[in-house]
A and B are shown apart, each in its own frame.
Chain A
Amino acid sequence: MIRFDNVCKRYPGGHEALNNVSFHLPRGEMAYLTGHSGAGKSTLLKLIALIERPSRGNLVLDGVNLGSVRNHKIPYIRRNIGIIFQNHHLLYDRTVFDNVALPLIIAGYQHREIGKRVRASLDQVGLLNKEKAAPITLSGGEQQRVGIARAIVHKPGLLLADEPTGNLDPELSREIMELFARFNQVGVSVLIASHDLDLIKQMGNPVVSLSQGQLVHNGLEQTAHG
């Protein structure tokens, strides 16, 4: 699904965020990305979501080399990725339903289909009764789950999450991670950046660790070759 091949990312000004990173996340696999803040986790996710471009090396997503994708093609690549942010990035001027429906509206789904899928998606995160609520009235954990519902509503092949449990207490964090595991069980590839090492250990998925822009541990190696 995702293949990093000696990828470097150098920001203007000389800061090297990623240095010769290589790993492969197979389709249908779920992995964690760990490291201290500033280790390059966010940069790595941004490269996959085409928010940033690699300075060197090859990054292939679902058979497409992201280094050579033209700007006007970016939206169509992003439509096969569900992105979950630490700070939810919900739109507070509309209801939970409308927030979750956004990816479907962008992709041009039929009206009836949108209602069905949004409810199915909200049901999966346990917020079916909140569809008419304003996001601001929800708790932090509920808002995060709305964000997850939005990320999965269009059934993307890949889920990216950047510190999805950053602001949540351990119990809620675990719930969220188990939610991701459930999506993974139905075939979605998942890559989660997190520094919650205890929780990651409990979940038991492969771990990729970064430190100062370099790959220091690649738990995917066995899966990739096995």
Chain B
Amino acid sequence: MAKIESNQVAKNSPFKAWLTNHARTLISSLGAMTRQPASSFMTTAVIAIALALPSGLFVLLNNASHISVGWDNSAQISIFLKTSVSEKDAQKLMGKFRLYEDIESVSMINKDQALNEFKKISGFGSALEALGGNPLPHVITIQPVVDSTRPDKIRHLLKQLNKQKEVKLAQLDLQWVQRLFAMLEIAQRGIWVIASLLGVAVLLVVGNTIRLDIQNRREEIEVTKLIGGTDAFIRRPFLYTGLWYGISGGVLAWVLTVLSISLLDGAVEHLASLYNSGFQLQGLSGSEAFSLIGFSCLLGLFGSWIAVGRHLSEIEPS
């Protein structure tokens, strides 16, 4: 049995053999795909379109919340102080508000200033002079920090402000902010539903492609089993094929998203300019593109895993 011993020497160590096998399969499965460019491309394109749709919607939603951040500037809280509060106390109160975490900026409309302005604008100057005193209170205006994920924060802040003894009334046009957030949330959930459905579609597409591949290579699988190929060895090329579909589908989905966004970009810029806004469409960020491709890889791998698990064990040499 000296023969068997010499066999062992020429063999790689188990780990190196395993690694070599993986590298070999990684390349050869890609090679097998490129040998059938038309069908590989079609599968890739189906995956890409299925993924580009939710990622495009995601980009649009992201931009919508960017616009709404612009609108949030008008989500201003006006605090009408009691008329008895002096300017000094009002300044003190402003200092206190500045320390609040939920408050971005604070400014005050002095009651004399307000009266002058009112006189000028309204034209009731003489009538106001007849009043003798200044009937207006000091007003503090606050820019709250807007956290689109926590709309209740603003309401909480408002409650707190109203509790201050110097404050007569703090008010905010809360309703439209809440409505906007509610709408954005519905859109977000809608995108998740669409994304999950299309994710399942990608799984099925990859699974079906791999299933056909397994059927086409039935002979090869039988021979490999007879020669002593382990299940892992036989499984590997199919899993790598799934992974390649995932990668190529993900990259193509990213390209499609970028292309569609750039198609919209000109029109959006024109619209924004009509509103005197410098708003620009934001595409997918680097990390978002990375997660899109990574997610696609996982789907490809998982889809082929399902197909391999279901169909490979059915093939035994006979």
B267 proximal to A (CB < 8 A): no
Given A89-B223, A105-B21, A157-B4, CB of A75 within 8 Å of CB of B10: no
Q: Does B226 lie within 8 Å of A78, measured CB to CB?
A: yes
By beta carbon, the residue of chain A nearest B6 is A155
Q: Does A91 lie within 8 Å of B318, measured CB to CB?
A: no
Q: Bound state CA distance, A113 and B20, in angstroms? A: 13
* Chain A interface residue bracket vs B: 20 to 34
Minimum distance in angstroms from A91 CB to a CB of chain B: 5
Partner of B12, one of A81, A93, A109, A154: A109
Interface readout for A151-167 with B: 1 if CB under 8 Å, 0 if not? Answer: 00011010000000000
Minimum distance in angstroms from B150 CB to a CB of chain A: 53
The residues of A that contact B231 with a CB separation of less than 8 Å are 72, 75
Minimum distance in angstroms from B23 CB to a CB of chain A: 11
Q: Does B17 lie within 8 Å of A108, measured CB to CB?
A: yes
Q: Does A108 lie within 8 Å of B12, measured CB to CB?
A: yes
The residues of B that contact A179 with a CB separation of less than 8 Å are none
The residues of B that contact A75 with a CB separation of less than 8 Å are 225, 228-231, 233
Q: Does A102 lie within 8 Å of B14, measured CB to CB?
A: no
Q: Bound state CA distance, A60 and B284, in angstroms? A: 64
25 A–B contacts, CB within 8 A, in A order: A49-B226, A51-B318, A72-B231, A75-B228, A75-B233, A77-B228, A78-B225, A80-B4, A81-B228, A83-B227, A89-B226, A91-B219, A102-B224, A102-B227, A103-B228, A105-B21, A106-B224, A106-B233, A107-B228, A108-B11, A108-B12, A108-B21, A109-B11, A111-B20, A150-B227
> 16 other contacts beyond A75-B230, A75-B233, A108-B12, with CB at 8 A cut-off?
A72-B230, A75-B228, A79-B228, A81-B228, A83-B226, A89-B222, A93-B220, A103-B228, A106-B230, A108-B18, A109-B12, A110-B12, A154-B7, A155-B3, A155-B6, A157-B4
Q: Which residues of B contact A (CB under 8 A)?
A: 1, 3-4, 6-7, 10-12, 14, 16-18, 20-21, 24, 219-220, 222-231, 233, 316-318
A-B pairs with lowest CB-CB distance, top 4: A108-B17, A79-B228, A78-B228, A75-B230
